[in-house]
Structure 1
Amino acid sequence: MNAFLILEDGHVFKGKSFGAQKEVICEVVFNTSMTGYLEVLTDPSYQGQGVVMTYPLIGNYGVCLEDAESDRPWHSAFIVREISRMSSNFRREEELEAYLKEHDIPGICGVDTRAITKILREDGCMGGMVTTNPDYNLDEILPKLKAYRVTNAVKTVTRKEKTHVAGDGPKVALLDLGTKKNIIRSLSKRGCDVTVYPAFTSAEEILGDQPDGIMLSNGPGDPKECTEIIKEIKKLYDSDVPIFAICLGHQLMALATGADTEKMRWGHRGGNHPVKDLATGRVYISSQNHGYVIKNESIPKDVAEVSFINVNDRTIEGLNYKNKKIRTVQFHPEACPGPQDTAYLFDEFLDVMKGAKNA
């Protein structure tokens, strides 16, 4: 069946439908990863978005559920150049198309993903529609696409109840803003005793459980929308508990301490983004997925200092907080699959927790 991708600027791309056959409106973004399409699909940070994969062949190794970053895919739509209808992988459990149908996610293939990506890079990420209706009316559709915004994203993806992953090491409280499973795995394999809290848990409850450290996870949407969570994070900041934050958590900590954020033109999404450690001058390759960034000039100089920058566009990739045991990064040190260059940040967090506990 024919399918159409309609962008808010009036571009229309004709392709073939795969996955669920339904009509959706979403924010259209692109991801430059060469592998890991299941990890991309199951990353809660993509809630409300239709993702264009720049790598031309998707689905060739099927779906291996062990690799999923959450219990379900979060994309509104999946946009690819070529979908592999038959996969080859000894770990495969099902085909990608069947997986998308199972979770009611529409896909479109046979479109020029290079052309779509060039449009998004030139004009920025934008509203879009995937539809199988050949009688679409642009005059009716385009205003809806221009008006579309991803809202209530964290509330949609966060868990409903507190969960516990036992360990014999430091007690870590992980605030689930849309966490990826590999953040939990990265802590667990280092022996941490991890308790995962819903995003809207009060600081009093978290601190009342007497954690040795607190992690703020990744997540979707505009960080400024999370006003209730920001208030609680400010209370966590005021405590003496070591904190490590990733992606959305990094942005929310900045907002809680007086900095500002802004939406990027097209964001950073992929497994090949270079970041520079300003303390050592070393450059790491990182995995990233974000559409918002902290404004450099907004950071109170007595509160935090920039620790990492993006080599490509000089945007902020990390902050160290002064007179606090708090470190935050915009990229994903838990990336899987993807570069493992920055996994050492979990080891440093472990050392900070142990040092604080023995002080």
Structure 2
Amino acid sequence: MPDTIKNQDQDRSTLTTSPLATGLIVLSDGTVYRGFGAGTTGQALGEVCFNTAMTGHQEILADPSYAGQILCFTFPHIGNVGANSEDEEASCGRAQRAAVGMIAKSEITAPANWRASQTFNEWLLTRGIIAVTGVDTRALTRKLRVEGMQIAAIAHAKDGHFDIEALKALAKNAPTMEGKELARDVTREEAGDWKEGDWDWPNGFKNGPEDGPKVVVLDYGVKSNILRRLTSAGAHVVVKPGSASAEEVLAENPDGVVVSNGPGDPAATGEYALETLRALLDKNIPMLGICLGHQMLALALGAKTLKMAQGHHGANHPVKNFDTGQVEIVSMNHGFAVDGDSLPANAQQTHISLFDGTNCGFKLNDKPVFAVQHHPEASPGPQDSFNVFEGFIEAIKAR
């Protein structure tokens, strides 16, 4: 029997008739959005954010930086390119514990792409991701934009039976992202070399150099394409767990160090990572920080980070590069930002967001240290910032 479902936009009173709702999103303020379940069944808690990318949904959901989050895609259609193993962004098995939920307007469609090896729904199932479709994502996005990100419970039950009051209590009482350390859940447990470079059609991934400058990557949830871009820029890449000490990093005799992206509150991860970063900064080794790594390098230098209301999530963000004078369109995924006014006197701001003026990059005037808030490796997104990797390798070779 059809179930009468209130329109998702809480500002309207229109009633629509639809089949039984099998998916539910319950925000911490008690707002309920009904839809149709996909992916795995069950329930999960996470911070809801909206992502404005039009493509690359597999790579986005596979980004370890989204651990503990539920993604609402503003682009309504999803699934037509399916999923495949070559677009994997988790660089180790543990990093596959990324996004816990997905929200979309339209029903997941069958794949119509020659690279697809799975349907998108099959891929969601393999990753344990709960999805809800048929939601008024415009209304939800507007709510998040105006009121800020919230913790939510997302649920999928094939019989359509939910304990809504219990879900409301779960969402209301769940801890927020502030103070939450998530990088330990997605970092690798053992160090190892990374050989894979850019994807070269039709041959697959290129092999990296054996004799390039050695770059140690501290893995706090590093995306595969960051490692691929470093390899393609000419580096011999060694990846170490984020918990590695400065002594363990220096034992590799690195020519450079990259502090990777990752999930959670940078201040919480910094409780065990900042000692290592400060020791490496004292050695004057060329260093590059990306996203969470950008924030933690700033904290190691004495700056502050702030929780953002909506964060930046998408593949169409304009960033001003002061070094070149150009505007770059970049991919972003972060809910915390560096307070640019708190950067030390020896730090020079190199990038800002043209959406809200927040700091998106800095470099040190007296050390070979660089950091960017955005994701220069894209995947998905534009390739305007690939020069970050080439510039970093050039700075290493110059020393």
TM-score for the superposition, normalised by structure 2: 0.86
Following TM superposition, by how much is the alpha carbon of 1:38 offset from its aligned partner in structure 2, in angstroms?
0.6
Offset, 1:218:
0.6
Alpha-carbon offset, residue 300 of structure 1: 1.8
Q: How does 1:110-189 map to 2 (within 5 A)?
A: 110-131=134-155, 132=157, 134-138=161-165, 141-142=168-169, 144-150=171-177, 151-166=180-195, 167=209, 168-189=211-232
Percent same amino acid among aligned pairs? 39
The 5 A counterparts of 1:42-53 are 42-53=62-73
2:283 is the alignment partner of 1:262: no
Q: Distance in 1 between matches of 2:154 and 2:355?
A: 31
2:273 is equivalent to residue 250 of structure 1: no
Matched ranges for 1:328-339 at <5 A: 328-339=371-382
Gaps in structure 2 of 5+ consecutive residues: 1-20, 196-208
Paired with 1:155 and 1:139, the residues of 2 have a C-alpha distance of 29
Partner of 1:195: 238
Listed one character per residue, the Cα deviations across residues 39-66 of structure 1 (whole Å, up to 9, x for unaligned) are 0011000000011011100111100210
CA distance in 2, matches of 1:134, 1:11: 18
Once the two structures are TM-superposed, the CA of residue 4 in structure 1 deviates from its matched residue by: 1.0
What is the Cα deviation at residue 139 of structure 1?
Answer: 7.1
Q: CA deviation at 1:322?
A: 2.0
Q: Paired residue for 2:332?
A: 288
Q: Distance in 2 between matches of 1:281 and 1:100?
A: 41
1:1-359 → structure 2 map (5 Å cutoff): 2-70=22-90, 72=96, 74-131=98-155, 132=157, 134-138=161-165, 141-142=168-169, 144-150=171-177, 151-166=180-195, 167=209, 168-226=211-269, 227-301=271-345, 303-356=346-399
Secondary structure of the corresponding residue to residue 243 of structure 2: coil
Name the count of aligned residue pairs.
Answer: 355
Taking the aligned partners of 1:336 and 1:105, their CA distance within structure 2 comes to 20
Q: For 1:342 and 1:137, how far apart are their aligned partners in 2?
A: 45
Give CA deviations for 1:67-101 in whole Å, capped at 9, x if unaligned: 11115361111111113341111110001111111
CA offset at residue 140 of structure 1?
6.6
* Kept after mapping to 2: 8 A contact 1:285/1:339: yes
| CA offsets 1:238-263 (integer angstroms, 9 cap, x no match) | 11110111000000000011000010
Secondary structure at 1:178 match in 2: coil
8 Å CA contact 2:78–2:106 kept in 1: the answer is yes
Q: Is the 8 A contact 1:320 1:328 kept in 2?
A: yes
Deviations 1:188-207 (A, max 9, x none): 11221100000000011111
* C-alpha separation in 1, matches of 2:55 and 2:97: 16
* Structure 1 residue 231: Cα displacement: 1.2
Supply the AA of the counterpart residue of 2:335: G
Aligned amino acid, residue 40 of structure 2: A
* CA RMSD, Structure 1 to Structure 2 (Å): 1.5
Counterpart contact for 2:212–2:235, Cα < 8 Å: yes
Cα distance in structure 2, aligned partners of 1:336 and 1:143 = 33
Deviation of residue 142 (structure 1)? 3.9
Paired residue secondary structure (2:117): coil
The more displaced of 135-144 and 287-296 is 135-144
Q: Quick one: distance in 2 between partners of 1:65 and 1:307? A: 35
TM-score normalized by structure 1? 0.95
Q: 1:43 to 1:135 in 2, by over 3 A?
A: closer
What SS does the aligned partner of 1:290 have? strand
Name the SS of the counterpart of 1:5 in structure 2: strand
